[in-house]
Amino acid sequence: MKPTTPLLKVDNLSIELPAGFDRKYAVENLSYTLEAGEILCVVGESGSGKSMTANAIMGLLPSYLKPSSGRILLNGRDLLVMSEQELARERGRTVSMIFQEPLSALNPLMTVGEQIAEVMLVHGEGDARSRDERVLELLDYVGLPDPASLRHSYPFRLSGGQRQRVMIAMALALEPAMLIADEPTTALDVTTQAQILELIRRIQRAKGMGVLFITHDFGVVADIADKVVVMEKGLIVEQGTADDVLNRPQHPYTRRLIAAVPHPDESATRAEAAGEPLLEVRNLQKTYRSGGGLFTRPRIVKAVDDVSFTLRRGETLGVVGESGSGKSTLGRCILKLTDVDGGEIRYRGKDLVPLSQAAFRPMRRHLQMVFQDPFASLNPRHTIGRILTDGPVANGVPMDEAQKKARDLLALVGLDPSAYDRYPHEFSGGQRQRVGIARALALDPELLVADESVSALDVSVQAQVLDLMQDLQKKLDIAVIFITHDLRVAAEVCDKIAVMYRGAIVEAGPPAEVFNAPRHAYTQKLIAAIPGRHWNPRAAVA
């Protein structure tokens, strides 16, 4: 067989960082190839430089980053020496790209049909009539309902998954030979993610495209990749076929990443928690009303609809659901961060619902929360010490005692004592989340609500924070309500799982039961959509 030119060949590419960064190169000596009809996954954690090559191909690098050596060969022609006009011709025609956040990648003031047609217009493709026909054809092809009317919609009218389909339709408009997908499903719910992945795979097969797929999620890799490149700190640490990398990882970094992938441990049996219930929620109701003036009817959304559950000391309840399922509202109701419309929340037998904020305040110390966003949940103007002592001081603990406790807590969550006098911006996401956990523990709570507390973290950091939380829970015997969109994480850390759908708990039970024998149709759909469920990361690194 005669050697053919690969679709994309990245050859010894290095991109230098300006002085003042923690490393010299954004990416260093990168080499890989992508053949037509192949899906290549570039995997790495945040800051690994996994998006750099894609941006270099599309000319999206910020002005201070310049490739300093190497070549990017597209069909044998070096993109790095092409003129801007030549590049502009290649983009969209030979290579196109879809992005993580489809809402910000679409123009909010143009209908989706116009935006797709514009791609063809700027490349001088066809006339108005043929472009119109092509738009309809594309919308239909990416599986959007009723293309004839949908083309006149504005992006804000579409759901996240539909917007991503529109982005894909735009990318396909000129039948490119190669598609770059930069975390295209990260912002989507798991069931939508499964559909989009399926769509990408279908298109790729039908058109014989080469797909460069950038992701942080090994589950997604297991689902779609033919070849995998693993990156760490700007270097390729391992590459090979999907089977080799996923099931026989060689490099310690890859092994560590794969070991950190959450996976339900089915063999583990948990002791049934016994004793008095700590928290009993009965028929909880919360309705959001919006809009609604004198003459218009308000929009009513049942965020929490007749939810009941019981939680004992030392027990972990996982509340799982997609965005808009009401899982976060449930957490906020329990902590009285929002009003409740009906039902009971009994903490040690005492109903919290009728209490005023002032009457509830002395009890707040028993019910604490770890927030989602480690960057927004710490006051940027306060030192870590101040953040940790605020709570105890507000609850009448003397200052010197609170300070001593704060220093102990820093050690407990694995932070350096010097953190005490520093500000949040000096810490990484994982470290900040540790501070958030320490803040919640500073009040010796009996119940902890963790709302998506690990979702914003890289997988290896996520594993560490989860370990820390489980460890502390065992040590301190606290009850935890673990709110997450990620069934894998919930199954790994929870004693019981409650699946929420449109405000109601549709299924509850021990993780093994929910996972292996889901009864409700929605749970079945949710479980079927988990990326990489046929792949067992535990076996790969055992």
Residue ranges binding other proteins (CB under 8 A):
335, 337, 361-362, 364-365, 367-369, 371-373, 376-381, 390-391, 394-395, 436, 439-440, 442-443
Q: Which helix (H) or strand (E) holds 391?
A: helix 384-394
**Residue closer to other proteins, measured from CB, 263 or 434:** 434
- As measured in angstroms, the least distance from the Cβ of 378 to other proteins is 6
Shortest approach of other proteins to residue 466 CB, angstroms?
20
Q: How far is the CB of 156 from other proteins (least distance, A)?
A: 21
Closer CB to other proteins, 54 or 448, in the complex: 448
Q: Nearest Cα to 13, choosing from 96, 82, 80?
A: 80
In what helix (H) or strand (E) does residue 415 lie, and over which residues does it extend? none
523 and 321 Cβ atoms separated by less than 8 Å: no
Tokens found for residue 376: 């927004």
The three-state (H, E, C) secondary structure of 474-541, written as one string: HHHCCEEEEEECCHHHHHHHCCEEEEEECCEEEEEECHHHHHHCCCCHHHHHHHHHCCCCCCCHHHHH
CB of 524 to other proteins, least distance (A): 34
Secondary structure of 129-144 as H, E, C letters: HHHHHHHHHHHHHCCC
DSSP 3-state of 32? strand
Could you tell me the smallest distance in angstroms from the CB atom of residue 428 to other proteins?
A: 17
Give the Cα separation of 485 and 501 in Å (integer).
11
Q: Which is nearer to other proteins, 85 or 357 (CB)?
A: 357
Residue closer to other proteins by CB (options 23, 361) is 361
237 vs 281, beta carbon nearer other proteins = 281
Q: Which of 430, 439, 449 is nearest to 386 (CA)?
A: 439
Residue spans of beta strands (DSSP E) within 135-177: none
Strands, E assignment, 75-157: 77-78, 95-98
Residue nearer to other proteins on the CB measure, 216 or 336: 336
Tokens representing 124 are 């001088």
CB of 483 to other proteins, least distance (A): 14
Taking the least distance from each CB to other proteins, the nearer of 193 and 372 is 372
Nearest CB to other proteins, comparing residues 435 and 489: 435
In whole angstroms, how close is the CB of 364 to other proteins at the nearest point?
Answer: 4
Q: Which is nearer to other proteins, 2 or 381 (CB)?
A: 381
Least Å from the CB of residue 129 to other proteins: 44
Which tokens hold the place of 236?
A: 């390729």
CA 110/CA 350 separation, integer angstroms: 54
Amino acid at residue number 189: D
Closest contact distance (angstroms) between CB of 142 and other proteins is 36
CB 223 within 8 A of CB 197: yes
